[in-house]
Each structure stands twice: as C-alpha cells, then as structure tokens.
C-alpha cells in the first residue's frame, strides 16, 4: 500500500526532498505559503494542498520543513495546526533546523496526544537534495525510525541515528555551528590570499591537497560564489539564525565559544547589508568588500 505523505514547507531544501519522495513511489501532498511551489509535485503525479489542513488530513506521515522555531511551533501546535488535525496512528517528522528546546516542546505535545514524533534535520547542500544525496540526523525511538527510514532513503543516502527524540536537532546545531564558522574562516582566507596576490586556482589547488581542505571552500564556494552565483540555497539570514541557535545553546550550557562568537558577529554584520538574502557563500563577497578587493572567480 502506498504511503501517503503530507509535506509542509517547500522551500529551497523542502521542495527537492518532496520531489524525491514522489519520484520514489510515495504519494505526496505538498503545501507551501507560495502555492506555486507545489506545482512541481503535481507535475510528478502528486497533489497540492491549499491549506495546512489539506496537507495533514488522511496522511500516514506528515513532514514539516520550515525556517525557524516559531514557524514550526505555529504550524504544529497552533489553532488548526498539525496536532489538531493529524489522523490517529499517523506520524509527524520535523526536518527543520530549530532550537532543541523547541523540538522538545513539539515532542512533548505529540507524546501527550499519542502521536509518534521524529526530528530529522537535513545535512549537506541544496545541490545534494536535488540529487537525492542528503544526509539526515535523526532523533527517534526504534518503532518510529523504522517507519521513516524508507522515506529518508528515498530523499538521501546517509542516515545517522543520533539518539532519542531531540538528539537530531541537537546534532544539527553542532554541525551547523562548525560548518558556518569554517565558512567564515574560509572566506577570510581567500580574501587574504587574493590580497597577497595569489590567484584563486592556486589557493584551491594547494588547500585542497593539505589538511586545510574543507567542504565550505572546496564544495560550497567552488559551486556558488566563486562562479559568481549567490542565488540563495541557504541564506546569510538563515545562517545567522543557526549560529544564534548555537550561541544560545552554549550560553544555556555555560560554555564559551569565543571563535564562534566572532563568526556569529560577522554573520550579523553581513545580514545588515544587501547580502542578507544571498547564499551564505556570499560571505566571500562580504570579506572581499571589507578588504577593498574584487571577489575572485574561477573559470568554470
């Protein structure tokens, strides 16, 4: 029997994930505040929901993939939200990157209503989601994990169980803190090398063959800003939000993150410019502006 999936949130990451579910044999009903986003699901044989209610009723599994904690709590816990409409026996999986305590609140509300809940934030880039190569950090009990594993395999190729409910969200905060801090350092390094007269191909060749190699420079920036493309996959605004999640978690845990705090401040400065809604690889544009140099470009 075909599993029916309601997918709420068809943004830069959510839409390719939902498309992959539909392609792999799941019956997807998509909902987004921009109704045209679901057209791509309809083209593949899926359905478009006009409201959250339409995306929830009659589904076996409901997935939310939303920008931030307030959006998830409003959609799931609010009046006429997911929990007020979900079918008995259906499961809710949240794939958003949100505050771990927000995940805990949603999980507790689900438990109170007897609704199985999984948190499964997404790793890797939009280009990976489009190719069905996403990574998932999963917090779930054994029974719920068994139910969502086929969906995760349809959307990606790397699944990491991080523990019980809430551990996926916690792992995502740590993961994004690391990658976003590295992205800022990579941007500064390229700006420095360019100012010192090195060409970008030399910088990439050498750092790509030492332990300085990293995905932010050698995958993200090579495929985006170094080609002159800063159309958003993951915006500087959202990156600032994710860095803020890490800063808040650290403060609550009484842990100092001095290097991360400096990177967080840079994201805060960058989002005050016209780059706020650009791809976060545009950190390189920001660093080069501050250095008074042109942003280097590769030939490819």
∠ CA(96), CA(128), CA(167), 5° rounding? 35
Distance CA 287, CA 232 (A): 18
DSSP classification of residue 277 = T
Say if CB 41 and CB 47 are below 8 A apart: yes
Per-residue pLDDT of the chain (300 residues; tens, 9 = 90+): 899 999 999 999 999 999 999 999 999 999 999 999 999 999 999 999 999 999 999 999 999 999 999 999 999 999 999 999 999 999 999 999 999 999 999 999 999 999 999 999 999 989 999 999 999 999 999 999 999 999 999 999 999 999 999 999 999 999 999 999 999 999 999 999 999 999 999 999 999 999 999 999 999 999 999 999 999 999 999 999 999 999 999 999 999 999 999 999 999 999 999 999 999 999 999 999 999 999 999 985
CA distance 235 to 278: 5
Is the distance from CB of 145 to CB of 117 less than 8 angstroms?
A: no
> pTM (2 decimals)?
0.94
Query: Could you tell me the domains of the chain?
Result: 4-164 (3.40.50.720), 170-291 (1.10.1040.10)
Cβ-Cβ contacts under 8 Å for 13 (sequence gap 6 or more): 65, 122, 126, 129, 233, 234
From 48, 172, 224, 241, the catalytic residue: 172
Residue 120 to residues 22, 64, 68, 93, 161: CA-CA distances in angstroms? 19, 10, 14, 7, 9
Residue 4 annotated to the active site: no
């Amino acid at each position: 029997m075909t599993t029916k999936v309601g997918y709420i949130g068809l943004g830069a990451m959510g839409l390719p994930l939902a498309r992959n579910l539909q392609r792999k044999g799941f019956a997807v009903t998509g909902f987004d505040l921009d109704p045209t986003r679901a057209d791509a699901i309809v083209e593949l044989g899926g359905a478009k929901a006009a409201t959250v209610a339409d995306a929830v009723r009659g589904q076996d599994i409901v997935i939310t993939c939303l920008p931030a904690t307030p959006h998830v709590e409003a959609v799931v816990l609010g009046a006429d939200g997911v929990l007020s409409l979900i079918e008995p026996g259906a499961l809710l999986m949240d794939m958003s990157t949100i505050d771990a305590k927000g995940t805990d609140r949603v999980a507790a509300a689900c438990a109170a209503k007897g609704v199985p809940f999984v948190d499964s934030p997404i790793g890797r880039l939009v280009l990976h989601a489009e190719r069905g190569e996403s990574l998932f950090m999963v917090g779930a009990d054994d029974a719920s994990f068994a139910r969502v594993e086929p969906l995760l395999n349809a959307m990606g190729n790397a699944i990491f169980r991080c523990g019980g409910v809430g551990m996926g969200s916690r792992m995502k905060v740590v993961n994004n803190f690391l990658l976003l801090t590295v992205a800022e350092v990579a941007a500064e390094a390229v700006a420095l090398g360019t100012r010192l007269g090195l060409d970008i191909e030399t910088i990439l060749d050498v750092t790509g063959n030492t332990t300085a190699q990293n995905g932010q420079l050698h995958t993200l920036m090579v495929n985006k800003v170094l080609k002159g493309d800063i159309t958003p996959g993951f915006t500087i605004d959202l990156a600032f939000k994710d860095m803020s999640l890490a800063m808040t978690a650290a403060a609550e845990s009484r842990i100092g993150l001095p290097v991360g705090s400096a990177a967080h401040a840079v994201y805060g400065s960058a989002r005050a410019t016209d780059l706020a809604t650009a791809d976060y690889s545009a950190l390189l544009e920001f660093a080069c502006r501050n250095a008074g140099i042109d942003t280097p470009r590769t030939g490819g």
